[in-house]
Amino acid sequence: MRDTEWSDQVSGRSPGAPLDVERFFKLDILEPATPGHVEPLIVEGDQDGELWFVYSELYTDRSIHFKSSNDAGRTWQEQWRAKDAAGNDVVGFHITVLHLKSGGLGMVYTDIAKEYGHPGREEGSMVFFRVSNDRGHTWSDPVLMDTVHSCCCTGHAMVLSDGRLLAPVFRWISPQTGGEAENWNTEDGIPSPTFSYSYTCISDDEGKTWRRSLSELFTSVNRAAWDLEEPIAVELRDGRLLMLLRSGMGRMYKSYSSDRGLSWTRPGPVHIAAANAPAFIRRIPSTGNLLMVWNQASRQEIVTNHCRIRLSSAISTDEGETWENFKNLEALDDVNIVTPPPASDAIACQAYEIYGGLQPEPVERYHRAPGPLRICYPTIAFAGDQAAITYDLGGGTCNGMGARLRVIPVEWFSEPSA
């Protein structure tokens, strides 16, 4: 394995000093617990300056809960559960709340549908869509978006400028027909055989009907294929769409669409080190720059099960062609730019996903250890001149899984690293 850490760039802060982002507001909005919570959503509400925090009681009754804030997430007032017209809980996971062109709300989410779902993944869950016209309190009957098992990550669906709904999704395939298709703890110690590819679901009638893209996205060299999954897209100024995709190659991949998500280019590597975990990307309303938050990791960190200990941010002023001002929202060391593996490499690097007590070494570098080891699945929303970012927080020193919220002035992302 080629060592890519020799040229990693360390921030100018004194060793042992807290991260620069610690100057700003932070709240563990869902305290780490067992069984806990994973993959919550922060999203703009339907009133000026309002934020909503949305999460699922995934490990109990799967009910979907909303909280609202009028002060950029510092305090939270109104709380409610999503209900259908009969007053029953709407249940599900992987939630995106959309502001439709017509003025209502849309929700993309997964729920169990065994008559359609792949029996070996998340109990046969499928992607559904609902509409609300009362601030997300009551939701319409569900519309099935695709008749094969797939998943749209929390916050990854979007409304394009022309009103088209676009849900970047991915699908697992596996020879296994029962049990868990993505099982990292099989009896023989070998992970279950799976393969993932990505595509998009699109709707031009605000979710009444859906169709699949013409492209399926993965990476392949001489017919040897590797996963590309948990995609997210952003609309560019020239009308194209840019998609970023999670990979196990030590970097993320990207693809473009010139027809509003119906077809996509062959994915290519991005010159950014990344763990096998999803990125999140949004355009900053006040500056027009793109803001990305992702798990930056070296190959050494990936293969030693420390792939989600660093959560980084960067901005692009040229529509995603290049990225700058790398900063850390969470890190156990002071490395803010990790050197990615060469783009010519076609070597997958992915260890088992273990987030217990295996703290990184050496302690001279990872001077904030021990700490959390599973920090991932970010989402971003904006309230005035502030960015609200939520993400999973758990593993390591945490007692279970929870969620952290950071509220950061948007100007900080454009300031040179300290």
Q: How far apart are the first and last CA of the chain?
A: 32
The rounded distance, in Å, linking the Cα atoms of 226 and 241 is 23
User: Domain span at residue 388?
Assistant: 9-414
> pLDDT digits over 218-253, tens only?
998 888 889 999 999 999 999 999 999 999 999 999
> pLDDT digits over 82-120, tens only?
999 999 999 999 999 999 999 999 999 999 887 877 666
Percent of the chain topping pLDDT 70:
89
Residue 183 placed within a domain: yes
**CATH number, position 282:** 2.120.10.10
How many of the other CB atoms lie within 10 Å of CB of 285?
A: 12
H or E stretch covering 87:
none
Residue 287 placed within a domain: yes
> pLDDT digits over 393-418, tens only?
999 999 999 999 999 999 999 998 86
Residue 4 placed within a domain: no
Mean local confidence (pLDDT), 263-271: 96
How many of the other CB atoms lie within 10 Å of CB of 279?
A: 23
On the question of pLDDT at 362 being above 70, the answer is: yes
The rounded distance, in Å, linking the Cα atoms of 205 and 201 is 13
Residue 133 placed within a domain: yes
Give CB contacts under 8 A, 24+ apart, made by 285-289: 285/382, 286/385, 286/410, 287/410, 287/414, 288/237, 289/315, 289/316, 289/317, 289/413, 289/414
Residue 285 placed within a domain: yes
On the question of pLDDT at 213 being above 70, the answer is: yes
Residue 223 placed within a domain: yes
Residue 61 placed within a domain: yes
How many of the other CB atoms lie within 10 Å of CB of 25?
A: 14
For the chain, the domain total comes to: 1
The rounded distance, in Å, linking the Cα atoms of 318 and 160 is 20
Residue 144 has which token pair?
Answer: 């099935």
- Provide the pLDDT for residue 354: 64
Residue 3 placed within a domain: no
